[in-house]
A and B are shown apart, each in its own frame.
Chain A
Amino acid sequence: MLSKGTSPPTEPLRKADMTIKLSEFEIPPMQDIMLVGKKAPIGPEAVRQMVDAVSPDQYEIVHLNSHEVFEAVVIKKSLLKLLPKEKLLSVVIEEGGRIANESMVVKAQINLTIRVNRVVDL
């Protein structure tokens, strides 16, 4: 029984705050390089399917058979025109291996600047 002057409890007011963040979907939605961990939620075949669907012929998948952390590397083919694959991969895999574990997929953005000095006869 309620005492005099006390009002009954009201239902809690439920509201939702909504924030919308709109930005353009990048095509391709990939960065320059992806390092796929051995126990990552997606494997090389899934990456290949995704890449082929959204950016056909733009990426190459390199399977790593004996690496401790990574199973494969997905690399933008255009980068390979600037630097040989072996040189680029060895650096990226080494650096990626420092920060990643088997269950991760790591994306890497690569900025390459080629410096050329040439001397010509006057």
Chain B
Amino acid sequence: MQMAKNIMSRKLYTIDPLTGVGRAAAIMERCGIGCLPVVDEGKLVGIITSRDIKKSHPNRLVADAMTKEVITVPPTVSIWEAKKLMEEYKIERLVVVDEKNIVGIITKAQIIAELSRYIDSLTGLNKAEVFYERARQLLKKGHEIAVIFLDIDNFGLINKEYGHVYGDSVLRRIAAILDRLIDKKRDILCRYAGDEFAVVSTRSLKDAERFALQVVTAFANEKWPDGIKVSVSAGVAGGRRSGLRNLNEDSSYIVKNLINLASLASTKAKKLKKPVVVVDAVEFKEMVSMQ
């Protein structure tokens, strides 16, 4: 999991609240930065950004121009959570605070640059890392989750018969179909690896099964180019959780476990020539304590 501390700017410039706005602007221009945390007797009391400076009279004190409500994050916050906070508060920067000390600044540009590493360049879908992180976040928020693992049948044959460039175009089309089918409020889709895709969802296990069947049917009804047939085998796994103590460790374990179960179920579906195999809901309280 990528954390704020790995990508934040550690070189810190701060300013006193009784300094003039003009001086703050000069410091920001000289240092090529877009904001200054405002510190009064060692305590973070605000942040002054280039946006605040544009709105204020240059004669003003920083204290009269700064944003007083500073959104801070710990160094261990994930970059996805940091991005979400920035979107929620419509801000471009977060101050990274370790207990009471400012240790860095993280900007939206830094996060977007980092997140682009987690987007699959062929399909434009999330990579598995994003999937794991988002699934963990859902669990930490108390959601029950279901994992739908989708394995394309005999995709190797398409590559062998039509070539990898053709295979890539089929993968892009598969991604587009899946992206169209998911409900973005409930489902998070990723290209898990090669010809495998996965969805983590807040749907119930029953609803996840229905969704998996919907995907299988959509593939069967799709008019694929050159009359090829593309089908998919789906495995669905979901679990109940209760009494978990260490949410960080336990949620990682649960996510990995569900993916494993769902992928095994998709293999079983392939072998049995069934469209979807669903694993019975797993009680994670017991599984975690068995570790």
Contacts and interface: CB of A to CB of B under 8 A. Distances in A.
Interface stretch (A22-30, A40-48, A93-101, A110-118): A40-48
B57 A46 contact: no
Interface string A43-62: 11110010000000000000
Contacts of A39: 55-57
Interface residues of A, number: 10
Contacts of A44: 64
A49 B57 CA distance: 17
B101 interface: no
Interface string B51-95: 000011101110111000000000000000000000000000000
B18 interface: yes
Given A42-B61, A49-B18, 13 more contacts: A39-B55, A39-B56, A39-B57, A41-B60, A42-B59, A42-B64, A43-B60, A45-B17, A45-B61, A45-B63, A46-B61, A46-B63, A46-B64
Contacts of A78: none
Contacts, number: 31
A45 B64 contact: yes
Nearest to B18: A49
A103 B64 CA distance: 14
A67 to B, nearest CB: 16
Nearest to A48: B63
B18 A42 contact: no
Interface string A30-42: 0000000001111
A41 B18 contact: no
Interface in B1-23: 17-18
Nearest to B58: A41
Nearest to A45: B63
A103 B63 CA distance: 17
Contacts of B61: 42-43, 45-46, 49
B54 to A, nearest CB: 11
A46 B63 CA distance: 8
Interface string B122-155: 0000000000000000000000000000000000
15 contacts: A39-B56, A40-B57, A41-B57, A41-B60, A42-B59, A42-B61, A43-B60, A43-B61, A43-B63, A44-B64, A45-B18, A45-B61, A45-B64, A46-B63, A103-B57
The 10 A-B pairs of least Cβ separation, nearest first, read: A43-B64, A45-B63, A41-B59, A41-B57, A45-B64, A46-B61, A43-B60, A45-B61, A46-B64, A39-B57
A43 B55 CA distance: 13
Contacts of B65: 43
A44 B56 CA distance: 13
Interface in B243-258: none
B67 to A, nearest CB: 13
